[in-house]
Amino acid sequence: MFVFVWCLLAIATNAQENRFTSKLDKYCKQLIQSYRTVSEERKQVLDLMASDLVDKRYIVFTCKTNSRRTVLLQVWAQTGFYYYGLADRNAFSIGDTVTPVYSGVANVLSEVGFYVSRLANADPNGYMISISKDFPESIVSSKSMVGTIDTTMGVVVNICDEKEPSGNAAKYSTFHLPYSSPTPFEKTVREKLKYKQLNHRIALEMLYLSSRIRDLLKQINQERY
């Protein structure tokens, strides 16, 4: 079972550089300068997701397993919420089956600045992942069901392509945002590069998503007052 750690405190947008590790903050700032590289096709889907998340509180990523792409998406969606001060939004992930997280996920997150460590006296495939060593911890387990999450207050995103039919995606999903699986490259000389590329794309798009939610909320508040 994969376990990862998140902070419970809200992050104000003007103070994220003091709340993130310096390496992670630098990585996020570099990505923010690259929003123009997100394709128009992807932006259309991400903008629709942002519009839904203005009035909703959860985003859930689903695939056949909950071990690689969905985990990266959950980590980066939550990081984007923190970065842009969206304190009341939360990201989750599920799969048709619960499987151990692949070590490449922990490795690539550590490389860009997250605090990553294995859980002591627990499942050997468990990790603690945090944006800062000073943040309090909250434990979330990989799962195959949405559990107590009220799906009417969230959006469910299928990240599998057509070759990976997912039961949960068919049952719950409201958006389709596919990412290519890195699995074929594991245990090869191209594994590290493929995980780096996947992590970069996911991080870029999830930060963009959070920026759009923030902008839409600002617009609504300005119109009210």
**Tens of pLDDT, residues 128-148:** 788 987 774 444 456 677 766
Q: How much is the pLDDT for 139?
A: 44
Query: Which pLDDT band holds residue 29 (cuts at 50, 70, 90)?
Result: very high
At residue 16, what are phi and psi to the nearest 5 degrees?
A: -65, -30
Q: Which residues pair with 127 in a beta bridge?
A: 118
What pTM value is reported for the model?
0.88
Q: Give mean pLDDT, residues 64-82.
A: 92
**How does pLDDT run across 87-108, given as a tens digit for each residue?**
899 998 889 988 888 889 989 9
Q: Are 49 and 89 in contact (CB under 8 A)?
A: no
**How does pLDDT run across 165-179, given as a tens digit for each residue?**
888 888 888 899 999
Proportion of the chain above pLDDT 90, given as a percent:
56
Considering the segment(s) 3-224 as one domain, its CATH architecture is 3-Layer(aba) Sandwich (3.40)
pLDDT of residue 83 exceeding 80? yes
Q: How much is the pLDDT for 10?
A: 39
Domain positions in the chain are: 3-224
Average pLDDT along the chain: 85
Residue 94's Cβ-count burial label (10 Å; 0-12, 13-18, 19+) is: buried
Paired sense of beta strands 115-118 and 58-65, if any: unpaired
Q: How much is the pLDDT for 119?
A: 63
CA distance 99 to 205: 25
Q: Give mean pLDDT, residues 171-190.
A: 93
Helix H or strand E segment including 139: strand 138-141
